[in-house]
Amino acid sequence: MDIQTKALHVGYEKGSEGAMAVPIYQTTAYEFKDAQHASNLFSLKELGYIYTRLNNPTTDIFEKRFASLEGGAAAIATSSGMSAIFFAIANAAEAGDNIVCAKQLYGGSLTLNTHTLKRFGIEARYFDVHDTAALEKLIDEKTKIIFFESLTNPSIDVADIEAITAIANKHGILSVVDNTVATPILCRPFEHGADITVHSASKYTTGQGLAIGGIMVEREELVEKLRSNPRYEHFNKPDASYHGLVYVDANLPPYSLRARLSLCRDLGAVLSPFNSWLFIQGMETLSLRMREHSKNALALAEFLESHPKVKKVNYPGLKSNSNYANAQKYFQDGACSGLLSFEVASFEEAAKILNATKLYSIVVNIGDSKSIITHPASTTHQQLNEQELAACGVPSGLIRISCGLESAADLIADMKQALEA
């Protein structure tokens, strides 16, 4: 089935009412048929709904539909993109372990990995996303995750997914790809060897800046990588917190199962049914929107590249861009999503441009249908020091644009007047 058809139909069977739109099951809990039924659900003898912190029919459809777009086996929806990332890491790593991460990450992921995980006893080690030799040197027997973004925010690099996942596979380590900016429409990391993907659904999935949410997806047959793998004993040995369940023997996608039974249960960062419903609406038009976002971004990038005030444009759809070959290899039809950045002379010059634009809203978000302009050094990346900023490719004159769905001609005209104001 084509991805656009899946986005409209997967996971939803109409009930006797024939409702065309997926219903919102706005409920906290579910009545059991009898005491035995309740007991069977808790012991996993039967699968069903228990309590919305564990599962919910509307969220279930969102999870199944998103997993099918990504080409995965199962998914867990979370209350935000950050909680999806935390779940993906916490499901594998514990105190004393380390994770190996690309330097070019979303600012929130950098602070999570460097500062918050450190307080949990998990060390983050960083490699340049284009230096896979450096990546391999960081691995040891305590490495549990290799984490990177397929299309990085805000440095706009395209990872060589196959090179990185080959190293992860060689060492039997789980690779986790944040595929937020590319979306499953443009890039499918599982086809290139990745094990788990995470997304901020707050971006292109909703598409109109309507809600915060996240999702973690696991590939098919991940059980084989986890089975008997000494790095992941907690998937292979009885879980004392769930009546001795051995996740790899449960005949269900094990990474999602453990995330649901342990992390959703104990951390509770789950998605509300209403937000699941919003994301289901967003998915219906995701592939159409991604095409238009990509077209607009390419047109704006080409204009910016020709402007004398612009020192550098970062957009992998430009032939001049060092990521062009990776983009052609990993992205559907070479379409590169709506995110681009460009560099002007200084912090002050960047501020002047932000203030002069009329169509671009100064907002710290991406993936909205309305265009957005951001100055990462003073906002999303403010918590990073000079060295950290330089390391993740965010100079002080960098401006990030999330190209919306306005007409490309209007976006270019407004940017021109702002540059020349």
In terms of residues, how long is the chain? Answer: 421
Which residue's CB comes closest to ligand PLP? 81
Which residues lie near ligand PLP (CB under 6 A)? 80-82, 106, 108-109, 149, 153, 178, 180-181, 200, 202, 212, 214, 366
Closest to ligand PLP by CB, 180 or 314: 180
Closest to ligand PLP by CB, 247 or 279: 279
In the complex, minimum distance from the CB of residue 129 to ligand PLP, in angstroms, rounded to a whole number: 13
- Cis peptide leading into residue 57 (ω within 30°): no
| Tokens standing for residue 94 | 């514990």
In the complex, minimum distance from the CB of residue 122 to ligand PLP, in angstroms, rounded to a whole number: 18
Cα–chain center distance at 402: 16
Closest to ligand PLP by CB, 122 or 212: 212
Closest to ligand PLP by CB, 139 or 151: 151
Closest to ligand PLP by CB, 214 or 397: 214
In the complex, minimum distance from the CB of residue 108 to ligand PLP, in angstroms, rounded to a whole number: 5
Closest to ligand PLP by CB, 154 or 193: 154
In the complex, minimum distance from the CB of residue 214 to ligand PLP, in angstroms, rounded to a whole number: 5
In the complex, minimum distance from the CB of residue 375 to ligand PLP, in angstroms, rounded to a whole number: 15
Closest to ligand PLP by CB, 147 or 255: 147
Long-range contacts of 328-334 (CB under 8 A, 24+ apart): 330/150, 330/158, 330/159, 330/161, 330/182, 330/187, 330/192, 331/151, 331/158, 331/182, 331/186, 331/187, 332/185, 332/186, 332/187
In the complex, minimum distance from the CB of residue 182 to ligand PLP, in angstroms, rounded to a whole number: 10
In the complex, minimum distance from the CB of residue 141 to ligand PLP, in angstroms, rounded to a whole number: 29
